[in-house]
Structure 1
């Protein structure tokens, strides 16, 4: 039985005479055929049967078929029927002459938002206030922890000294970044002094002014001035001048002083506070002493550049 390809009305029209080759499958982007639609029809077989019945079969007992055979309508019917027979040329609508499109039909509007990135590149947060740094990390889907630099606990105007992982590192969303914070004054000191400044030869006062922002890290030993030495003078320092400084690195000074008697030292009023104190925190009684949780002796004092009494290394 001869069959004809019968494309659904919602598919692109094939060229005239085109028949799907073996193994052909419709484009996945084409819509499904209407319910009950037959992709193949047997119109040619029906036309053959019609031709045989009207023109080749007996008509003696059928006056209608006999009249059709002898009229012009009958002739036209033959022409149309022959066109429907296998091998005949069936007139096709003009639209069928259009080629089957090979390009995929236009899809729905593409979303304008880009797919979420699988990694986040860490920005440089050093020098930023801790609140701003935490907000930047939260904005890109990261969490943060805060750590104080050794002996430089920060309670006011804290900025980021360093971060781990470092800036420029690619991390996955949801990762945690450790922010190391110090006071703005201490950050300014390390920004200005990448290397240890020279303090030997300076008076203790001038050396203290230089190290004021990191006074909690300064440990001072006093020795009696020898003959020819001035009192109240730095004669030794560690780290040595010119050595690269790391935030939180301890500084040790040796300072000369005039001799004094044990009686004078014992006569000083004991103003040691109970409990622990925090380096850099404000205090009320100048001259009072206390100890940090690490056991470092601190004194409540002011400096030439800071009139507010704070706990500083004694």
Structure 2
């Protein structure tokens, strides 16, 4: 029986953390270790953790808050499982056999290295809310560029991978905020990605109950001075006065452009607008509030099927 190492990082989520932990400890696949990493919570999280006596549950508390991403490499390396799984502290397994399903999916092909969820469901009724646009077939083959620039979204809910995947991932993990960039570097294929829809059983605020399996050859693209030079030249006019969250987004965008060998025209239009009108608070707020950089790429490329905004050449948005 394959062993899982499950890691949940949390900060002031005691009101939801119990259901997450309960769903893990109730799994019929008993061979797992469960790490809960507390990034300095000031709520009732410590008291909640004291109430659990299961020896498979390990609780580590830090006195000061720091981004979850900083903690992951350190603790994943300490895990002993064959598969490493990250589960958010506001999500949970819907079924008690979720780990069994994951194990079967990961062992069905020797090439399968990583899976993640992609179906949004209603947490109360377990009814599907929405599939990411374009994923209507049970099996798809697409290029990395299709995956990145198309309407095939990426759900930041549940990541499961074989140890070799995470070893490669953390080898290129260079920045605290750089979770997704490191992910692309670890998954970037020589050929195509294979995508499957399989039932799983995970829920949360925007949870999932299906998984995608990514497999195939891998070539790892490390960040170099070329990236830093490109970043400075492309965004030097706005980086200095950009809000922190937007600064992260701009660095991701530069990475994607350099990786693909092409510029994103809509992004350039927006940056031109901000360069000439840095007080354009509406544009700043739209950038700062967007939840996922991957969704931003979709928005900036004008994927109107998912957004009701139209992007003008001058860089302003209208309904």
TM-score (norm 2): 0.23
TM-score (norm 1): 0.23
| Bigger helix share | 2
Relative contact order, CA 8 A, sep 6+: which one is greater? 2
- Select the structure of larger CA radius of gyration: 1
